[in-house]
Each structure stands twice: as C-alpha cells, then as structure tokens.
Structure 1
Amino acid sequence: MLLYTSHSYSQTSEFENSLIYINKSQPRSYAIIDSIFKPVETDSLKMKRLLSFSKNINYNDGSCYALNALGVIYRNISNYEQSITLHESAKAYADKAKSDELKIHSLNMLGVVYRRMDIVKPALDYHTKALKIAYSVINPSETVTYNIAVSQNSIGNIYLALKQYDLAINQFNKSLKIEKETNNKLGLAINYHNIGYAEEANGNLNVALSNYNKSLDYNNAINSEIGRVICYNSIGGIFLKQEKYTEAAPIIKEALKKALLLDDQFYIASSFINLGQLELKMDQLIAAEKHLKKALNIAQSYNLKSSISESNKLLSEVNQRNNNYQAALAYYREAVEIENTILTEQNLQYVNDIAITYENENKNNQIKALALENETVRLRLNRNKKIILYTSLLLVALAIALFILNRTKALKRDKHILTLKQDMLRNQMNPHFIFNSLNSIKLYIINNDKTNAVYYLNKFSKLIRKILMASQEKETSLNDELETMKLYMNIENIRFSNEIDFKVTVDPSIDTEVTKIPSMVLQPFLENSLWHGLSSKANNKKIDLKVSKEIANFITVEITDNGIGRIAARKINNRKKLKNNSVGINITKARLANFSEAFPTSYSLEIEDLYDNNIPSGTKVTLQIPTNKLRKKHTV
C-alpha cells in the first residue's frame, strides 16, 4: 500500500484546523473542498482520517471526496479492485449528498479505472453517465466543465484502445479546448500526449513527437513525475521507430527508473516493454527477453491487457530471431487472443452507439435550456397572456404535427439508408476476403519476408480502416475513392502473385477532391472483374479504370478487364455449383439510386461484353454518376 505521510507539525496542525472548519461550515462546493484538501489528497493516512471524521459528523460530501482520493491512490499502484470498491462507495455518498459535481467526479474516476484495465464497456458507461449528468446542468460550474473535459478525454482513450485514431483525436481536441479555456496545465499535458499517441498510430511521427514535447513542457511546469514517465516512454518510442537508438536509450532508461520509484505497475510494465524493444532492435536478445518477460509478468498480475498483448508480440519476435518458432507462435497467438478481447466488432458498435447517445443527450439538454429561457421570457409578458398562450399552443401543436410528419418521412429514408450502409459494410468486410488476405500476409511472415509482410500488413490495415470510415460516411471525394480502390487492388493482387496490371486514368479537367460520389461504390465492379473475369485466365491480366467527363454534370467511370467474359465465367460457376452472387451490384445500384435523388438526373450503368473476332475478350462497365446537385442537399 502506498503511504505518503507528512511528519511536519505545522502541516498536521493545518489539517486538523481544516477538519474543524468543515465541521462548522460543511461546504457543498467541490471546488472549496478540493482547495482545502488538495495539498494532502495523496496522503492516505490523512484521507482515511478525513473519511472517518466526515462519517462521524454525517458530512457526505467529505466522505465522498476522501473515498475518491483513496481510490486514486490505489489506482496509481495498480490495485484496481480496491480502487473500484472505493470509487463505488464514493458514488453512494455523492447520491446521499445529492451533489451533481460529486456524482460526475465519482463516475469519471470509475471510468478511468476500467479504462486502465482495457475493459471497454463499463469504462464507456461510466463516462457517458457522467456526461449525461454534466450536460443536464443548466449553469455548469468550473468543476462540471472540467469533468466534461475528463469524460471526453477518457472516451478518446477508449477509441485509442479500439484503434479508432481519428475519432480519438476528435474527442481529445474537444477536451483540449476546455482545458485551454481554464488554463488547466495537467489537462493540457494529458491531451497533448494523447493526441501525440493517436498521430503516432496514424504514422505521423514528427507531429506525434511535437505533441509529446508539448506535453512534457506542461508536465515539467507542474512538476508531475508520472507525467514525465509517460512522456519519456512515448518520446523514446518515437526514437525507436525512427531508428535513433542512441537517443532512445537514455530517455527509456530514465522512464523506467522513475516508474520504479513511483511504484505504478502500469507504467513499470510500459517502461520494461520499451526497454525490451530497444534491446531487440539492438540485437541484445538475452536482455530483451529478460525485460519483456518482466513486463509480461507485471501485466498479467494486474490484468493490463494492452501491455500483455504488446509484450507477447515482442517476445514472439525474440523467439523467432532465436529460431524458436514454436514458442514464437505461442506468444503471437496469445497476443492476438488478448487483442481480440479488446478490439471486437461488438465493442466498436457499442462505442459508436454510446457516443451517438451522449451527443444526443447534449443536444436535448441544450434544447431544454433554451425552452427554460423561453418560459422565463413568457412569464414576464403579462399583456395579452391568454392570446399568447393560445397562439403558442396552436403553433406548438402545428409544429409537432409538422415535425411528426417530416420525422416519419425522415425515419423511413434514414432506415433505408442505414440498411444500405449495413449491407455495404457486410459486403466490403467479406470474411473470406479478410481471411485470405491475412493468409497471404502470413505466408510472407512464415517465409521470413519481413519487408513484404510489413508492407502488405500496413496496406491491409489502412484498407480496413478506410472501409470502416467509409461505412460511417455518406459520401466521399473521388480522390479518396480511387485511393481506396488502389489499396483494395493492391491487397487482392497478392493472391494473383501480382500478375494483374491495374491502371487508373483520370481526366485532368476533373477536380477529384471536390467531386463527390458514394463511398466504396466502385469496389463491387472491380471484384467482379477479378473473380469472374480474370481468376480463370492464365496470364496477361489487365484492369483499366478510367474517369472522364464526357457529358456535362456527369462523370463517367469505365472499368475494363481483358478476362474470359461473363458467359464463360457463368459456365465455370455453374460447373462449380456456384450461384452468381450479384448482391454487391444490387446494393450498389440501390445506393446510387438513393444518391441520385439529390440531382436533376439519375445515374446510368451499362455492362458490355467485349469480343475480338467473335471471341470473348473481356468486360466493360460504364457508370455515369451525376455531379450537379439540386439546391436541397440529400446524401447517401
């Protein structure tokens, strides 16, 4: 147990005077309570004394404050079970005190503990409950505003655990804005570091390093030792990726030294992982294995899932270097299994659902606040009271009727759009495609072709991220669509031994950044060309994608392959007892039809069989997509 006690008579006397003060005044404001006990909040003995004293005088606010402070102390030494128990008790006292500030703070503290344990759902539940209460406060205090920033930061961290980096950055920027307004240096340090982490995951190493250094400056300003540990580890990690091992070594070792002094098992595990990775890069395999096993033991003891996964991955690489392939495979499987408990489709969907819910709660509470202001104004109008009342009721009834009518139409349209988006995502995230792509990448790993393995793994992860993002977007730029198609073809080409010659030609007069089309609309046609046209062909496999502007207010997309043609492909499928799966094309047609509703004219699609001297020589798809929208915006 961590004990931070002061033997100074003056501090002890001051603390006793603080107890006398709260006995007389029993302040209700969190800010006042915190200003009194902030200097001793990390002293477990004094917090236990405050808890006992508050219980004796039935001062629920003080009991709640002391329990939360003790919960943080236990959290910082990775005793998460005890920390959760204390924060739950604090929440009970906050309910007794009927204090929104204390409820919000207690819920956030519970969310932070579960987040540190990588347990996504309860973490998100507690933070969104805190946000719901915070947004319901009409005139929020500084404490409530600060806790909104804490909740948004923690939700951003949950997105990090789920590898949703752009969504995480969005949450961190929301939190950062609040911290800047209040000049909270600790909050600024935390958010700049988290933004750096997300940028690092996106491959923007220089941007990440800049944010880490900003975070370190703020941690130095507030003399936060644990903040320095976090920043040193992150900066060392950047140096590792930049292969600056000489610069990485001292900062990583300093991080470990400080983490051991703090006795925070979470950051001790992280520091051992960084040190082991450095030694692995420098071919110091014995030392690397030793430190990575220490990290793994700590992570397993305290159920730190992310650290368990990371240390297993690195131990897999160490054993692979030592030609101990059986152990390498066992470590790698363990890493994948742990990751799957964090990064699941259910968790992703759960996060998205909850995020939408709390955003709606925010909007609803803003509407309630406006309604309250309008009610106040209405009460001041004494003249023509009955006329105003009856007129208002009539207008409200009319507005409700119109709203219900429009809402019904909108819901029907949104339901149709949602169905199309879900069908599109299922079609793009074909399990066979993912399984076969990973198998292809696995062959590179087995053959020790690390360059190609890393290259295609990066391509594959980027494609999956784009597909997930596309499923949330209603439309995308032509440029992004073409980039995604290049990634898709690059991955699929692995299975064709890179035999396919895929070319993209775009008319220079077309502004691909401005031109909008439905996301992932070209993929089903490319997939058909691959698997129906080219898969049964021996050699000389080509697919040409041409974008032109032959008709005003339209772009024309032509996808041409030199495959065996639709008739021959249909015969092969019949022999294999395969049905012609046109689901992807049908979904695409429905999405194009919905997209075209915002335009004066609809899309057109033509599929043409090509012949050379009456011999099938391929297939050509011609798709014309409208670009000049009506004034009323309507998107897929």
Structure 2
Amino acid sequence: MRYWPLNFILWVCCLAPASWGVAQAPPPTGHARYDSLIQAGLYLQFPQDVVEMRLLSEATIIEAKRLDLTNELIRLYAERGKMYLDDAPLLDSCLWFLKKAESMLSQADYPEGETLTYLYQGWYYSVVSDSLRAMRNLDRAKQAMQPMEAAMEDSATTRMLGRFYLNLGSIYQAMNHYERAMSHYLHGLPLTQRIHDTITTTHYHVQIGELYRLLNQPDLARTEFEKVLSLTKNGVMPKRRAWAQEQLGELLLTQGNLPEALAHLKDALHCRRSILLPLGPIYLQLGRWHAQQGQADSARAYLTQVDTAELHYRFKTQYFIAWAQTQLAYGHLEHAQSYALQGEAYARQQLNKSLLQQVLVLLVQVLEAQQDWETAFRYQAELATWDRRLRDESQRRAIVEMEAKFDSERREQQIAALGQENAIKDLTLRQQRYQLWGLVVFIPLLVGFGLIINQRKQYRAQRRELDLERTLLRTQMNPHFIFNALASIQHAVLNKETQKATLYLAQFGEFTRSILESSRKVTISLADELEMAQNYFALEQIRFEKRLTLEVERAGVATGSIQVPAMILQPLLENAIKHAFAGKAQGHILIRLTAQEQTLSIQVIDDGVGLISTPTPTPAKQSLGLQILEERLRQHWQKPPSKLLTLAPHCPTGVCITLLLPLSSHD
C-alpha cells in the first residue's frame, strides 16, 4: 500500500475513536468530527483502498447516527451499497445497504438521496441481470431527479445532475440499451460543460467514445477519444489520458492505420509507466501491431510480457489472435491453430462479429497451410455466412432508420400544418372580435355587452376544440405505438417469420388507413368505429403473441345506422391493455353495446388487475387519453349526460369503463 503512513494517521485520528469509543486526545465535538470524517473519505477515494474506504464509511455512518443526520444517513447508506457493486461475493451486502437507505426515504424530503438510492439499486439489478427491476428502479431515480432539474439552483445541483446522467447512461450501456445510454450522455454532457466540470466532462467523452466503438462507428469514436486527450493535457488525469491513447491505438490498429497506431501506443506505454499502471494491455496492442507487420520476433517479445490476468475479457480474443498470427509467421501451424481456436471461443462468447471474422480468416489460412481442405471449407462457408449477415443487418438497420425518420418528419409536418391552421383561425377570430367592438358603438349598451360575452364564449370553445383536435392527432399517431409496430415487424423479419411479418404489415396498413380516413370526418358509423378498434386490437394481439382476446356483444344494436365521434374506442382499449394486464399471462376484453331509451351505452370490461385503491365508481381522470376523450365528447354535444364516462371495478377482477352517449343525435 503506497500511502500507508498517512492512512495509518487517518485510522488513528478518525476510525479508531469511532470504532472503540475512546481516544487518547479529546475528539472534535458537534459537526466538526463528522466533517473531518467526510474529508478523510474524499482523500481515500483517490488511492481507492477498498478496505479503508469501507471502514471509514462505517465510522461516518456511526457519527451521522449520533448527530441524527437523516439526509446524510440516506446518502451514506446508498454510497456504502455502491462500494460492493464491483465485489461479486458481497453483492448481498450491497442490496442490504441500498434497502436500508430506501427504508429511510419516507423520513425526509431529500431528492438527491432518493435519486442515488434508486440509481444504485438499478445498477445492482443490472449487475445480477434482472433487467425488469433494473428498469423500474432507474425510472424511479429519474422521477426523483426531476425536481432538482427543474430548480437548477446552483452549480452543485448541476454537477450532481451531470454525474447522475453519466451513471445512468453507463448502466444502460452495460445493459446493451445503447440508444437510451446515448440519450442520457447527450443530455448530461452540456450540464457539465456549462459549469466547467472538466473531470466529469472527460468521463462523458470516454463513455461516448466507448459507445461509438460498440456501435461500430470508428470515426465518431476517434473524435471522442481525441477530445479526452485535449482535456488531459499538462499531466491532468494521466490515467484517463493513458486510456485514451490506448483506445486510439487499438482503433487505428483495427482500421489498418499502423503508423499513427504505433505512435499512440508508445505514448500510452510511457504514460502507464509514469503512473505505475499495469502494462499488459499496451504490450498486447504492440504485439498485435508487430504481428500485423509480419515482425514475428518483436510480436513474440511483447506478447510474452502480457499477463492475461490483467486483461479485460474483450482483449483476450485479440491476445489469442496475435499469438496465432505470430505462430503462423514462424510456421508453427499446430500452435497457431490452438491459439486461433481459443480466440474463436472467446469471440463467440462475446458475440463480437468483427473479431470472429478475423479468427475465421486466420483459421482458414492455418487449415489451408495444413492442407485440411474439408475443415477449411467449413470455416470459409461460415465466414461467407457472417459476411452476408453483416450486410443484411446493415441494410435492415438503414431501412428501419429511414422509415422512422420518414414517420417523424411526416408527424412534424402534420403538427406544423395544424399550427398554421390554428394561427389562421386565431387571426380570423381576432378580426371578428374587433368588428364586434366597432358594432357596440352603434347599438344599445346592453345588447352590445351580451354580444361580447357570447363572442368570447364561442372563441374559447373553438380554441379549446382546436387544441383537442391537435392533441387527438398527436395521440392517434403515437410515436411509441409506431416504434413498437416497426420493432415487431423487424423482429419477425430477422427471425424469418414471413407469414407473421406479412400479417403485421397488413394489419398496420389497415389501421393507419382507417385513422387517416376517420380524421377527415366529424362522425362515423358505429360499425366503422368497431372495425377500427378491432384492427387496433389485432395489432396489439400480434405483439402480445395472442395472449389477449376481444369479444363484442351488440345486443341487437343497429351499428350501421348509429353515428358516433371517431376514435372513441381505441383509447379505451389502449388504456385496458396498458394498465390491466401487467404481470398476467392471459387477458380478455369485452365490448358491450346496449340501447336504453334515448341513450347508447358502450362498456369496455377487462379481467385485469382491477382498481386497488378506488372502491367506488369515479370519473376517469387518471389517464390522459381518457381525459382527452371525455373532453372531446363534451365538446361534441351541447348537453351531454352528467356521467358521460365512468370507471368502476368489475367483479371478480378487472375494470369496467362505461360511455353513455345521447342516441337521438346519431340516428
């Protein structure tokens, strides 16, 4: 341990009094003692002595309990749990401390502690491969963070948010959710740049560069690594600088830019030596460089100095490839084949397509040199298959991105057109109001006053109707729904499920056509509305692999002769699918139509989880889609029923949503 004298002094001054309860000298009183423990912890974070950090954390927790610092205890328990995230045998201790922090959240209004607690819990569940719980905790962490983001009171809050998004993106990246990771990185990076937090900004560029490398975008990755070099000049953060030099060397080596790769690798070697970091990863890259140059002796000299225990898992494939190339240059075909086969095993475990291609090419060369034509042909055929897969995957990705871009642009154009129409109507209404003010001069005061009130009511009603139409259009073309549909189509195509993909495309096209046709009409027949709802449910049924069923009871209602506003059943079905069947393997929805005197009753009944905390029927105000639907219906009729839309439990389980529509207006 390089800093043992100073660490021993910290133990004597801070840890021993907290642990033994006695000290040779009078300890600091009040918050001074707690502050000294915090400062000692900040110091120990740099050498990162795990044992001392845990001991100091325990002493700090004891002192915080003594001072009854609830907020600090929440933060300390969360940070203590984080210490065990990288220690696989102690992961249970990690969860224990995080649950301890969560149990104290109800005792204090502390958004920062709540954010850290759920963030680290999400991190824990991602480590143990429980993706569902990880996502749930990360979403709760983002919700807890929102008040701080809205306030943005000082640089400390901004710094905390910047680091939060960095950690959040790192977790999503580890879970292979690359799009979410990049979104959080790009959201948090401007925050750290605004307050000139150089250290966190450097970490952002490190993570973004690594993410671009995983996404096979070497040019963008190189740009990020060069930004890291720019931020670590003059001896600042030498470890990060060494890492960036190493990554650039590896990247350029893979691209075949050997002169620049060698320069960066030599700089990385010098930097690692100056700060006493392990040299194995650099020796590996230098060995690869000489192996690609055909310099077998130099490659062997570097590779023999590599300690495989120091290598990250993904570098081991490169290690065996370099050894195989070196042995092949010496003509040691059996050794070359052995190393290549080990590299193949690691590449297949990592699902690294690029490295697997390199190994297959190398195996073909070795087997051809051994005149094992049958095995060489088998590997050559697999190599050709991988080439086709990569090309097909690239083409499919380009098609999906193009379709998503087209849909996004089309929605933006529709929203812009609706905004222009709204502006024109606003201008027209404003002109009408001015004309009315002119008429008031020539008519009796009482009549003029009545006209003004009436005109303002009309103006507000029309404005409200325009807002509802715009909101309806946005909800009709729900980007999340379209994304799910395209993703399901893509999944079916990738799995060569041609019949399923064709069926899904047909249903998707039929539903989109019905939406566009209905958007031009004020009312449509109840039969058409039922057909559109069934088209939407068919899409969802394919996505949920036919785990949901739909039943329609008409009870003698003449659906062809009854007119209703468009898109009134789809929000009800969407609400039921979204909220009723969480965690259920099967689900059933019933649409029941009944005509009573001058009223049409439409009931949507599900057998889902039901209402937990609402024992009596209440107006449906929880869902935004249901609220918009109720407002549309009240705008459609001048005197709608008092209970237009109600939501109530349905025995034995489930929920019943009821619409009561005036029947006389539609016959």
TM-score w.r.t. length of structure 1:
0.47
Structure showing greater radius of gyration is 2
Of the two structures, which has the highest relative contact order with CA contacts closer than 8 Å and spacing of 6 or more? 1
TM-score w.r.t. length of structure 2:
0.45
